[in-house]
């Protein structure tokens, strides 16, 4: 298997995991099946779509290859079918989501570099790709974005993207880079969930913000 195919495979796992988080969130709000599909799609491709729109990089991936959308829609509907057993699979599910986070951050950074942008922009876009699908999901479900309150999530995306870019700048092979960054991002996220590591909170309750 080529390295590009391996990344594509991981990316598919990632978008399916993200679609499932979107579908479950829609289910918590008792949406209908169409809402489930739309929120599943927005969660899975929202981060990458926002990145490409901010970079002016057209056509968007799912416009060029609309079969991804169909796969995501099916994954969203499948989530409805298997929902009764999802709660017994919650640890597996968290693991797949953590893998998706690491993969999305790496892909976001890699694509941005490939478009000729500098490493700082690539770190930002790794972060955007990794976390904004979930932010868009939470906006569509009318709830506060979870990733700004819970265990390390955005920081994992940022550090994974930064590590990938740093190692790449030293000329390390793509396979070796993935072999380091994927376990790093995945492991950091899993440890954060296990030990409830979070960033310090900012609690500001005075006065009026305009």
Which CB sits closer to its own copies, 34 or 175? 34
> Rounded to the nearest whole angstrom, what is the least distance from the CB of residue 104 to its own copies in the complex?
14
Alpha-carbon distance values, 36 to 33, 72, 87 (Å): 5, 11, 18
C-alpha distance across the termini of the chain, in Å: 55
Which CB sits closer to its own copies, 32 or 171? 32
> Rounded to the nearest whole angstrom, what is the least distance from the CB of residue 124 to its own copies in the complex?
7
Which CB sits closer to its own copies, 6 or 148? 148
Alpha-carbon distance values, 46 to 39, 52, 130, 133, 165 (Å): 10, 10, 10, 4, 23
> Rounded to the nearest whole angstrom, what is the least distance from the CB of residue 9 to its own copies in the complex?
23
Which CB sits closer to its own copies, 56 or 171? 56
Alpha-helical runs (H) found in 65-149: 67-86, 90-114, 119-140
Q: Which residue shows structure tokens 């904004």? A: 132
> Rounded to the nearest whole angstrom, what is the least distance from the CB of residue 96 to its own copies in the complex?
11
**Length reported for the chain:** 210
């Amino acid at each position: 298997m080529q390295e590009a195919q391996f990344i594509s495979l991981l990316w598919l796992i990632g978008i399916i995991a993200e679609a499932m988080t979107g579908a479950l969130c829609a289910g918590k709000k008792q949406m209908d099946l169409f809402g489930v599909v739309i929120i599943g799609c927005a969660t899975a491709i929202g981060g990458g779509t926002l990145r490409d729109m901010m970079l002016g990089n057209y056509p968007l991936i799912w416009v060029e290859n609309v079969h991804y959308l169909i796969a995501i829609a099916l994954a969203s509907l499948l989530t409805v079918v298997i929902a009764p057993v999802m709660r017994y699979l919650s640890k597996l599910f968290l693991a797949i989501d953590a893998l998706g986070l690491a993969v999305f951050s790496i892909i976001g950074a890699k694509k941005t570099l490939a478009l000729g942008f500098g490493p700082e922009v690539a770190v930002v876009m790794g972060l955007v790709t990794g976390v904004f699908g979930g932010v868009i999901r939470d906006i569509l479900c009318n709830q506060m974005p979870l990733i700004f309150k819970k265990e390390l999530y955005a920081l994992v995306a940022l550090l994974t993207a930064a590590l990938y870019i740093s190692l790449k700048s030293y000329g390390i092979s793509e396979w070796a880079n993935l072999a380091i960054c994927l376990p790093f991002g995945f492991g950091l996220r899993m440890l954060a969930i296990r030990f409830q590591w979070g960033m310090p909170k900012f609690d500001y309750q005075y006065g009026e913000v305009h």
